[in-house]
Structure 1
Amino acid sequence: MPDWENPDETRRHEKYERLIARAKLAPEMTTAVAHPCDESSLRGAVEAAETGLMRPVLVGPVQKIRAVATAHSIDISPFELIDASHSDASAAKAVEIIRAGGAELLMKGSLHTDELMRAVTSSATGLRTARRISHVFVMDVPHHAETLFITDAAINIAPDLDAKRDIIQNAIDLFTAIGLGTPRVAILSAVETVTSKIPSTIEAAALCKMAERGQITGGILDGPLAFDNAIDPEAARIKGIKSEVAGRAQILVVPNLESGNMLAKNLTFLARADAAGLVLGARVPIILTSRADSVRARLASCAVAVLFAEARRNNAPIQGG
């Protein structure tokens, strides 16, 4: 029995299972998969199709994709293949398909993230919108009651205040669109007091004021908060922090990519958390998967993308969950 179908494992990761089950109810979405030229990326796309989450269009060197499928006994006969000579060409072609209305989601294959994002962010032929593009980890942490969103730990290296506004808004929009309600958003720093010695505390305070003035909408913000008093009620009580967010945060906004990347990987490797990943702020959701991802994390990434795209298509949050 595959690990992700094991009943004990299902209970341990029931948050992801609920997302996947709800995404199966949405109409099957065509997904341009850019350069699925290794076993992990090709199998991930095929498993998502077999689960009923999407209909992949495989974009890349056709002979190489077929060779990978043959070598690893992956049946790709039901799926459309579109030839592209190399990874950059695969990314460009996948983006072109989406711009032409041929797909509703974009999925990263075995190419580097920066290759895919170059095609996405091209001013002339990409998928940019007025919103800053950012990444959200949707994390299923064992023994933690709620799904945790961590942003941005993959795209924006050292975001300024305006970029952080978009990063937060992207995460809030995703949280509400997939039916999780109104999120409690913690803007993280090393301490919970505002001090000129730590610039991220000043930005956290400014972002909270921006939310008060309607520049960020749809969530409840607080910050600066240290990680412990953002997620642990007892830590918040001991520090005397009284807010709707402290100790109960659902979205964790990190100061920069380095801190976010370390936080996400600490949870993954020390707490055995799964980390689904999605890029937001483009014309369509972009599914980012890693070769180290479990099957469940890959499926959860696809499920979250499907739910978000369906909610945007209907212009209303999906209820439930």
Structure 2
Amino acid sequence: MSDENLLFDDIAPGMSYERSHIVTPNDFALFAMLAGQDGEGDDARVPAVGAFPLISSSTINFFPGNGSVVKDHHLDSHGWIRNGDTLGIEFTVKEKDAASKQVVLDARLRNQNNEVLVSGPVTIIAPTRKHAATYAEPPQLTLVQHRVFAELRDRVDQEPPIPTAVVHPCDRESLTGAMEAARANLIVPLLVGPEARIRELADKEGIDLSGATIVDTPHSVASAAKAVELCREGKAEAMMKGSLHTDEMMGAVVSSSTGLKCGRLISHVYVMDVPAYGRPLLVTDAAINIAPTLEDKVHIVQNAINVAHVIGIDCPKVAILSAVETVYPKMASTLDAAVLCKMADRGQITGGVLDGPLAFDNAISMAAAKTKKISSPVAGQADILVMPNIESANMVGKEMTYFAGAQTAGIVIGARVPIVLTSRADDVKTRMASTAVMALVALANRSGKKV
């Protein structure tokens, strides 16, 4: 086919057209919504009626192409569609009418097993002027649906609030986030910081401090030390970062004599709700371990798996990322990935399914994985992305937020208590999401399931 559209005069009965389309998680979510299904579960399927727009889109964008108008269709649905299916779209010209410029196409939609899922006539008004296509694929329609944290909140709402040391909440975002979490019954706030400054801020911003206990400290370093002390004494079961720098707070947490270390590596996990992905996505380590060694990565992977279990992913699929999907001796991250996978095979990492090295595209895209002929239980459907270093993890996390419309939660795992670790630029919504994840971890710890 040319990149140009096909004009009415060039269309003849018997002419045919075929193209293929791999169902992405975003496609599947759209098909499920149009079919009135939830599309949830590892073996989820939706009626093929949800894919009717794929037929219409293909006439407008490919055959006859730009300038076509769908006038009518009588499509029948015969089967089911699953995420990752390869769909074949077929058109055969049945008849045309010169007066109305209408063309009747016999349409078929088949899956990779050659099963007909959709069939029937589509009547279009064909174009009469030439236009060149401007893209190889129709633009993706992104469903901006955030459900992950709402579902986690539903679980947390059934439980008592968590006594939480909020470290130095001396700006509007951190103080508002803490008090919103308290009003949502997620936490019992212990506001650790300069009392006069906290009260002045609350008066200025109109923040109600009802139900909060203020633990007075002179400055941010003292606030971090006091918050750690409250956790060691059992007066707080979690910590929440306020307006101090991360290294100030984490310095107190990792202190060998007075900190909260418990024999495990401490690491950071992003829990992300990416609308276009259709499932929770965890990214690690974006904030603590700068250039993790292989030994560090064992702990980082296990910590992320433990968080996945807490949020309801029973056996998470873990992608160990690099720039390529093959072992390359000159690229250390590929060697680490191979070793981590073998360690999982030997039971040294438990609770998840690991594969790597995988590049980012084939870790989260079934289409990319199929194109590169990667056969893997993880490729295209990863629940956890383990990044090679802090730069890549931090950038991916923030790109998801700013470019992909993701809602995020940031949490530190591996200490005696879970720690909400958000950026000072994060809004109240992000702090609330992080608090919900933290509460689930704290509740698991309370029940004896150390996360």
Same fold (TM over 0.5): yes
Moved runs in structure 1, 4+ residues, more than 4 A?
none
**Is structure 2 residue 373 aligned with structure 1 residue 279?**
no
**Is structure 2 residue 221 aligned with structure 1 residue 88?**
yes
Q: Which amino acid is 1:288 matched to?
A: L
Pairwise CA RMSD: 1.5
**Would you say the 8 A contact 2:321–2:337 is kept in 1?**
yes
**Is structure 2 residue 157 aligned with structure 1 residue 21?**
no
Q: What secondary structure, in the 3-state scheme, does the structure 2 residue paired with 1:148 have?
A: strand
Equivalenced residue count is: 309
What whole-Å deviation, never above 9, does each CA across 1:44-66 have from its counterpart, x for those lacking one?
00000111111100011000000
**Is structure 2 residue 275 aligned with structure 1 residue 142?**
yes
Whole-Å Cα distance in 2 between the matches of residues 256 and 304 of structure 1? 23
Q: Which has the higher contact order (CA 8 A, sep 6+)?
A: 1
**Would you say the 8 A contact 1:274–1:293 is kept in 2?**
no
Whole-Å Cα distance in 1 between the matches of residues 418 and 187 of structure 2? 13
Q: What secondary structure, in the 3-state scheme, does the structure 1 residue paired with 2:240 have?
A: strand
**Would you say the 8 A contact 1:276–1:297 is kept in 2?**
yes
Determine the structure 2 residue equivalent to 1:210. Answer: 343
Instruction: Select 1:263's aligned residue among 396, 421, 424.
Output: 396
The Cα of 1:11 is off from its aligned counterpart by 7.0
Whole-Å Cα distance in 2 between the matches of residues 49 and 128 of structure 1? 27
Deviates more, 1:297-306 or 1:11-20: 11-20
Within 5 Å, give how 1:1-321 maps onto structure 2: 12-315=145-448
What whole-Å deviation, never above 9, does each CA across 1:204-262 have from its counterpart, x for those lacking one?
00000111111100000000000010011111111111111011001000000011111
Q: Which amino acid is 2:273 matched to?
A: D
The Cα of 1:178 is off from its aligned counterpart by 2.5
Whole-Å Cα distance in 2 between the matches of residues 271 and 164 of structure 1? 27
Q: What secondary structure, in the 3-state scheme, does the structure 2 residue paired with 1:172 have?
A: helix
Structure (1 or 2) with the larger CA radius of gyration: 2
What whole-Å deviation, never above 9, does each CA across 1:6-40 have from its counterpart, x for those lacking one?
xxxx9721111111221111221100001001111
**Would you say the 8 A contact 1:177–1:317 is kept in 2?**
no
The share of aligned pairs that are identical, in percent, is 57
Q: Which amino acid is 1:133 matched to?
A: I
Q: Which amino acid is 1:72 matched to?
A: E
The structure richer in strand per residue is 2
Residues 36/317 of structure 1: CA separation in 2 closer, same or farther (3 Å cut): closer
Q: Which amino acid is 2:316 matched to?
A: P
Q: What secondary structure, in the 3-state scheme, does the structure 1 residue paired with 2:192 have?
A: strand
The structure richer in helix per residue is 1
**Would you say the 8 A contact 2:173–2:427 is kept in 1?**
no
TM-score scaled by length of structure 1: 0.94
**Would you say the 8 A contact 1:48–1:54 is kept in 2?**
yes
What whole-Å deviation, never above 9, does each CA across 1:178-200 have from its counterpart, x for those lacking one?
32221000000000000112110
TM-score scaled by length of structure 2: 0.67
**Would you say the 8 A contact 1:178–1:317 is kept in 2?**
no
Q: What secondary structure, in the 3-state scheme, does the structure 2 residue paired with 1:230 have?
A: helix
The Cα of 1:317 is off from its aligned counterpart by 10
What whole-Å deviation, never above 9, does each CA across 1:253-311 have from its counterpart, x for those lacking one?
00000111111111111112122100000000000122332332211100001111112
Q: Which amino acid is 1:142 matched to?
A: P
Whole-Å Cα distance in 1 between the matches of residues 345 and 318 of structure 2? 13
**Would you say the 8 A contact 2:221–2:248 is kept in 1?**
yes
